[in-house]
Amino acid sequence: MNSLIKQGMQKALPIGLGYFPLGLAFGVIAQDAGLTIGQVGLMSLLIFSGSGQFIAVALIIGDVGFWGIIATIMLVNSRYMLFSAALTKYIKRLPRWAAALVCQGVTDETFVVSSTHFQEHPVDKRFWLSLNITSHLVWISSTMLGTALGNFIPNMELLGLNFALPAMFIALFFMTAGNRKALLVGLLAGIVSVLLLCVGVSQANVILATIAAATVGVALQKWIPG
């Protein structure tokens, strides 16, 4: 096996450990909502967004129309516009077919791992595709498994598995915060996001907090040396 492909798969393992319990929980909820294994698998293949898929199932249960579901998912996932802008300098070095596949696999976690990796290594489609595809396969398989097991899985909250994804985000944050300014910006983004949630901004809190913290980060980078 090519070393870059193997490296991408290895870096996807921590992501998969966070995806698996979340995927199981989603599958259980989707099964309760009346979705089949095939429908869940197709949703995970095409959308590949935990937050988007959870919201989609909630809206299906609430009997919301097709276009209402689509519009809500696009709003929730609008943060990926920021990710895409940040990854442009790497993606433009890839062939078009590889760039299209890479863009389909961009998530919060693969964005952090890939952007951090390419700061120190040359851009290579083999690493990037193996990272994204491995993560995607774990998500698809875990959601389908959760759907298949359905009510046989006990309450996920009792097992504490619902904290797996936040724990992974915390680990990724401290892995990429290379200095005190980066740490400050990350903490500021978290605080702003929580404050926005407290005042009822639950749909756009992430992207608004990111924009605010990034603005502060630019100011710090310009005015504070080192």
Nearest CA to 50 among 140, 171, 170? 140
Q: Are residues 45 and 98 in the same domain?
A: yes
Q: Are residues 122 and 192 in the same domain?
A: no
Q: Are residues 124 and 203 in the same domain?
A: no
User: Average pLDDT, whole number, for the chain?
Assistant: 83
Nearest CA to 210 among 111, 129, 65? 111
pLDDT single digits (tens) 56-99: 888 888 787 888 888 878 877 877 888 888 888 888 888 888 88
Nearest CA to 161 among 10, 26, 11? 26
Q: Are residues 172 and 184 in the same domain?
A: no
pLDDT at 225 over 70: no
- 75 burial type by CB count under 10 A (0-12 exposed, 13-18 middle, 19+ buried): middle
Q: Are residues 16 and 33 in the same domain?
A: yes
Q: How many domains does the chain have?
A: 2
Domain end marker among 161, 176, 191: 176
Q: What is the torsional sign of CA 49, 54, 58, 63?
A: positive
Q: Which of 91-100, 108-117, 127-136, 166-175 bottoms out in mean pLDDT, i.e. has the lowest?
A: 166-175
CA distance 33 to 43: 14
Q: Are residues 104 and 192 in the same domain?
A: no
Q: Are residues 58 and 13 in the same domain?
A: yes
Between residues 9 and 210, which one has the greater pLDDT? 9
Q: Are residues 224 and 128 in the same domain?
A: no
The confidence band for 4, taking pLDDT boundaries of 50, 70 and 90, is: confident
C-alpha count within 13 angstroms, C-beta hemisphere, residue 194: 6
Q: Are residues 93 and 12 in the same domain?
A: yes
Q: Are residues 148 and 99 in the same domain?
A: yes
* Segments forming the whole domain that contains residue 210: 178-226
pLDDT single digits (tens) 28-44: 888 888 899 999 999 99
- To the nearest 10 degrees (0 to 180), the angle between helices 3-32 and 125-149 is 30
SS3 string, 180-206, reads HHHHHHHHHHHHHHHHHHHCCCCCCHH
Question: What pLDDT shows up at residue 223?
Answer: 74
Q: Are residues 122 and 20 in the same domain?
A: yes
Q: Are residues 128 and 78 in the same domain?
A: yes
CA distance 98 to 103: 9
